[in-house]
Structure 1
Amino acid sequence: MHCWTDLGQVPSGFGPSVVTIGNFDGVHLGHRRVLTRMVGDARAVGAHAVAVTFDPHPLRLHRPEHAPELITGVKDRLELLAETGLDAVLVQRYSWEFARQSPQEFVERYLVHGLRAATVVIGRDVRFGWQNAGDLATMLALGERYGFSVEVIEDASPSHEASGEHRRWSSTWVRELLTAGDVAGAARILGRPHRMRGHVVRGDARGRELGFPTANMSEDSSGMIPADGVYAGWLTRTAGKAPVPSGRLPAAISIGTNPTFDGQVRRVESYVIGRTDLDLYGDEVVVEFVDRVRPTLRFDSVDELITTMHSDVRAAQALLTSPPPK
């Protein structure tokens, strides 16, 4: 998959293409269903399948106090988008210069001349151009003027949910579940475990002293942090020094401020189950959250904490070795 960060990087004469536009935060099952279908439609007519997405999120510019915490960072978003079969993604830097384009200017510059769109795939609630002046009717009219078709996609919803709740698959729903610590529920919408990505930094070494050395993720790690608590999950080293085991390693993951020791800094710490010999400092890792073991607790003694940590590790291991629910 080609990845462009500027329209000028698109090869001259590129196209024709089928283009869709969106933030695609989390690349959840609703996104994947639309993108997979779009890729198939593009293949059928010999066109390129292209997604246009934005960094930073537009609300960071327009209403920063309302900007959502991103489920995935750009690197993970691109990896997940590539899995859908897209031919290219344009990650447009969202700036005031870009935002001030009129709907016609955006369509003419990006869709018509830049990507040579034969079809534009959008939702009914699409808004684009300066002050969100463009809508579905605008896109349809511009399509007639410039010679591209417009395909309107309907909201993607699950046919059934174990909880009995029926609602549209959305990034907002995923954020709600992660905020509540329901990483298993979020995974059902994402179609995969929720992940964070970042470098391992040195902490207080308290986990090592207690017999559970942890990989502490840096504060600039990407991916939304779930609610405080202990989770079962996986840790994968993606870049760093050797030798370190490759592949996914089972982990018990703690999120919180460590209230037993009156901690103040919120941290994401992963103990690779059964391993006390790993040196991951400075390495980039991906942490995936499978299920929640318990909320964060404050213990009256270190001995009580250690006993509970042993129980947490057993519970995490059991969750990771259990077959997924049907």
Structure 2
Amino acid sequence: MGEGTAVHIWNSLEQVPRGFGPCVVTLGNFDGLHRGHQEVLEQVKAVARERGALAVALTFDPHPARVHRPETAPAQIMGLADKLAAMEQLGLDGVLVVPYTLEFAQQTPEEFVRSVFVDTLGACTVVVGHDVRFGKGNTGDLATMVGLGAQLGFDVVVVDDEGHDRRWSSTWVREVLEKGDVDTAAQVLGRWHSMSGEVVHGAARGRVLGFPTANLSPDACGIIPADGIYAGWLTDEHGKLWPAAVSVGSNPTFAGVSRQVEAFVIDRPEEPVEAFDLYGQHVVVAFVKRLRGMVAYTGPEALIEQMHHDVAEARDILAPAPR
């Protein structure tokens, strides 16, 4: 793929051009696009270069667990748009997003592979992990894929995920975010964990206290880490990066406040409020380090004193240029 070439994003099998290929393809949910996923996609790109083919990733929307087990499906680490943006940055030639339905899930392993990999993508090579599962009831496994490759005319490359103390996984990311351990989350993800969404009006309590915050909409994408105060970065819709102290929780000092994510931009411009208005903007909030848990204070004065301390600590942490 040439530098600066746009990545093709297809939202259905029908959108893939007829006669597309040959390609090297892999499949997965890629939730969080952690370092394990990145290793697989780098392998796809390397094999594609060797074979003069196109590098393609196949993913699903919604996550299959949300279709089969909606009541127990895990929270998604990142939204689809953020996942696609991250995949584009890796330099793939194409990403196929397959709408996942109960009807689609009824395909046998052979029907799935023939329809998607062979007929739609013209796969010459399929890259998978040892634990790959696919087809109705997840009855297809690595041996099935190898057999279908021999039958249908594509090679299978198996990615070796050994060599780590613990295998990179989306489950690991969820575990540590539930504890507020954004440091470990960043190690597994290869970047800071972030949320994205629209800035909406809140109770304006922060403004009254002297700390006006950008409140993320309740339907913002990305897992909300454990309650507490974090040092982080806010990226506005113009791509400008702002250091921030980020509050997650219901603020126990005040009654009747629902759980929310709000970011106070540190050292914001000395301009009228309207000149620095984030309301209505789609922003990204990245979590760099957890400063403390959420604590109930005896009143606004004690809270304000603590907030000054939090901002100072966050400023020190964020003083180096962001990675």
TM normalised by structure 1 equals 0.93
User: Which segment is superposed worse, 56-65 or 217-226?
Assistant: 56-65
Q: Matches of residues 102-251 of structure 1 in structure 2 within 5 Å?
A: 102-155=108-161, 157-158=163-164, 166-238=165-237, 246-251=239-244
Partner of 2:24: 18
| Alignment-mate amino acid for residue 225 of structure 2 | P
| Alignment-mate amino acid for residue 147 of structure 2 | A
Partner of 2:248: 255
d(CA) in 2 for partners of 1:182, 1:111: 39
Q: Which aligned segments of 4 or more residues in structure 1 are displaced greater than 4 angstroms?
A: 322-325
Partner of 2:60: 54
Deviation at 1:324, TM superposition (A): 8.6
d(CA) in 2 for partners of 1:196, 1:249: 15
> Are 1:297 and 2:301 counterparts?
no
d(CA) in 2 for partners of 1:197, 1:209: 25
d(CA) in 2 for partners of 1:323, 1:236: 14
Deviation at 1:49, TM superposition (A): 0.5
Partner of 1:161: none
d(CA) in 2 for partners of 1:262, 1:296: 14
Deviation at 1:119, TM superposition (A): 0.5
2:34/2:170 contact within 8 Å kept: yes
d(CA) in 2 for partners of 1:258, 1:87: 45
| Alignment-mate amino acid for residue 107 of structure 1 | V
Partner of 1:162: none
Partner of 2:3: none
Deviation at 1:322, TM superposition (A): 4.8
User: Which segment is superposed worse, 108-117 or 262-271?
Assistant: 262-271
Deviation at 1:76, TM superposition (A): 1.0
Q: Deviations over 1:76-96 (max 9, x none)?
A: 111111122110001111111
Aligned pairs, number: 312
d(CA) in 1 for partners of 2:41, 2:67: 27
Unaligned runs of 5+ in 1: 159-165, 240-245
d(CA) in 2 for partners of 1:11, 1:234: 40
Q: Deviations over 1:43-68 (max 9, x none)?
A: 12110111000111101111123211
Deviation at 1:14, TM superposition (A): 0.6
1:24/1:53 contact within 8 Å kept: yes
2:44/2:56 contact within 8 Å kept: no
d(CA) in 2 for partners of 1:281, 1:324: 24
Unaligned runs of 5+ in 2: 1-6
Partner of 1:243: none
SS in 1 for 2:71: helix
TM normalised by structure 2 equals 0.94
Partner of 1:265: 258
SS in 1 for 2:187: helix
- CA-based RMSD of the aligned residues comes to 1.5
Partner of 1:66: 72
1:36/1:85 contact within 8 Å kept: no
Identity %: 56
Q: Deviations over 1:3-34 (max 9, x none)?
A: 00000000111100001000111111111122
